[in-house]
Structure 1
């Protein structure tokens, strides 16, 4: 099974906002349509950027709310069943489907994302039954129970990141690891720069399946 160091995954997630920074592995295809962004590398790494600012998220500038000219809300009533029957937040599911359709017959080996991208990581990790790592992950799944293929998905969250508690009445897919910073900056530490910093100061396993 593919494995990746969490600190390396965080570097990939941060660089996904500026794909020109990638020299290895080489990006072979990118999606930028209907406010959906994704990058696929030559070794099957699927990178999903989101929003580096919690203020963008809270002000509804996060792209998921304007997918294909349709606006989505962070409401507990806005849900839809996926192909497996799992109930997801509708906006996150629509976003993930656009990435799924873009990939076509291609199958990622590992999926890494941040913020909105981390919401899509949780859905697509289940869709492909492949490892997924999401940083600053919102909660896309309706219902608290475990579902099939959620054992390969990990969400890395800061306890001082408001986005990790949104939407209300939803849950993370798979396992969510909440990291406590030495200095709490409640509600504002959402950027990948802050997630890379907390990985440096926290001890614990640094690789996941």
Structure 2
């Protein structure tokens, strides 16, 4: 899938203007959209309750894989996983809290996954099964990509590409539109894949 097209799908999910939606999910604070082409789109935080329920619930908890995850992100992923498993998606895209969930769901199901602005979700350096299916696109000027803080507590699942703006850009560059902009600007960078899987 084209990375910019993936970003546009997330942007439309936030704006509630996604086309070709065959199934919608909104349970327990988690939202997701299943498109007719088999793509699962998971937007991020859009309610105040997402913060205590998911984002700030940072203790470790053991998942079905036997590995330890960020408690709040695993809870969100479990909700989305229940929805996604029966639909058998061909592709997963997520942003922010949705990217945290996408990393877990995508690796668990072994499905190509693009995560934008993803926080860290997994404890330990050992790879999980299906990790090679996941890619993270991260901005160096987006603090959410470094959350929770600390190198030893949690890490991202999958391959991670860090992007830095050409000029100093003071501000909170977390919105998916800011990711679309920086990816478009980096189209000539051969190290930044424009499609996933490559």
User: How does the TM-score come out when normalised to structure 1?
Assistant: 0.84
Give the Cα–Cα distance (whole angstroms) in 1 for the partners of residues 80 and 86 of structure 2: 12
Higher relative contact order (CA 8 A, sep 6+): 1
Give the Cα–Cα distance (whole angstroms) in 2 for the partners of residues 141 and 33 of structure 1: 23
**Shift in Å, 1:118:** 0.3
Runs of 4+ displaced beyond 4 Å: none
Aligned alpha-carbon RMSD (Å): 1.9
**Shift in Å, 1:33:** 2.2
Alignment match, 1:12: 9
1:159-179 CA-to-partner distances (Å, cap 9, x unmatched) read 000000001221000111100
Alignment match, 1:183: 167
Correspondence for 1:131 among 85, 109, 112: 112
- Tell me the matched-pair count: 190
Instruction: Tell whether the 8 Å contact from 2:108 to 2:129 is kept in structure 1 after alignment.
Output: no
User: How does the TM-score come out when normalised to structure 2?
Assistant: 0.89
1:140-195 CA-to-partner distances (Å, cap 9, x unmatched) read 01112322210010010000000000012210001111001112335610001100
Instruction: Tell whether the 8 Å contact from 1:64 to 1:95 is kept in structure 2 after alignment.
Output: no
Alignment match, 1:73: 56
Alignment match, 1:193: 177
Please state whether the residue corresponding to 1:66 is helix, strand or coil: helix
Gaps of 5+ in 1: none
Alignment match, 1:63: 50
Gaps of 5+ in 2: none
- Matches for 1:43-54 after TM superposition, within 5 Å: 43-51=37-45
